[in-house]
Structure 1
């Protein structure tokens, strides 16, 4: 697996999953495995586009569940070919939605996998509808626990802050 900065990877085809992937929890693992499977079917590399630090950690001070090195190792273990690690900072936040779309065009995605609530670009101006104007987008359905609750980094953080590691750790799926 190779790790790239933004705008440093050019591919003639790919399947891409975009997200913070903080914790690389069971929900993320499901999405990434599906993305890797789809890339194999398409005969193109799999790419995870992610952020360091995660946007919520940068803008809201949220606890980070995995360091970038841990995240990269977990993605490698899931069979990802390439990781684009965007440095999430003030400059990145000023990028337009068009800048992000132009960057994605450099890797010629045959499919882009994102959550239904995915937003991008300055002031979160871009959304899934805008992505669909440029790419084949496969929105990802939330992955839920047996009790029906959605697995999310936010939920894991909240459980950990409440001292409920016994409930949080199974959601991560790798501890």
Structure 2
């Protein structure tokens, strides 16, 4: 099982994707693999604040009982690769299933999407995760809350004991 994403913040939505990959990997008796990026693509392209530096991200992912973490170095070269390169790279990992969010895109100009992945791998598209108030949990929303000084709610959405430790 492979879960792919930027996972910046490793918030409750990310945790749901990762936990499902871990649970299914145990059932299928295969390793759980998290494929993530450093820096996160939105930081690379837009300069957005990074919620979790790479070592913190890896530590938080490890606490979710993941077997392996692959960190792709998100560089200019990586960002300009055609989607087929990413598919070729994934195929070398021989995934039983690939877990992604519904908005997952990859490759140059975000040309690759879930529909393209489905042509090569079994896909489990995770639905968005919402908080109790019905609002989407996302890294973008958490960044907004932090910029507004609402650390309590941002910590709640992150779902980690002490927030951004």
TM-score normalised to structure 1 length: 0.90
* 1:89 to partner: Cα distance: 1.2
Q: Distance in 2 between matches of 1:108 and 1:67?
A: 28
2:89 — aligned with what? Answer: 103
For the aligned residues, what is the CA RMSD? Answer: 0.6
Distance 2:74 2:68 in 1: 18
Structure 1 residues 103-162: Cα deviation after superposition (integer angstroms, max 9, x where no partner): 000111111011111110111111100000000001010111011111000000000001
- Please name the residue that 1:158 is paired with: 144
Helix, strand or coil: the match of 1:110?
A: coil
SS in 2 for 1:102: helix
Aligned with 2:97: secondary structure?
strand
- Within a 5 Å distance, the mapping from 1:1-175 to structure 2 comes to 15-174=1-160, 175=163
**SS of the residue 2:96 aligns to:** strand
Secondary structure in structure 1 of the residue aligned to 2:72 = strand
Q: Give the C-alpha shift of residue 94 in structure 1.
A: 1.3
Q: What do residues 6-58 of structure 1 show as CA deviations (whole Å, max 9, x unaligned)? A: xxxxxxxxx00000000001111111111100000111000001000000011
SS of the counterpart of 2:50?
A: coil
- 2:26 & 2:122 partners in 1: Cα distance? 17
Over residues 69-115 of structure 1, what are the superposed CA-to-partner deviations in whole Å (9 max), with x where a residue is unaligned? 00110111101111110011101011110000000001111110111
**Which structure features the higher share of strand residues?**
1
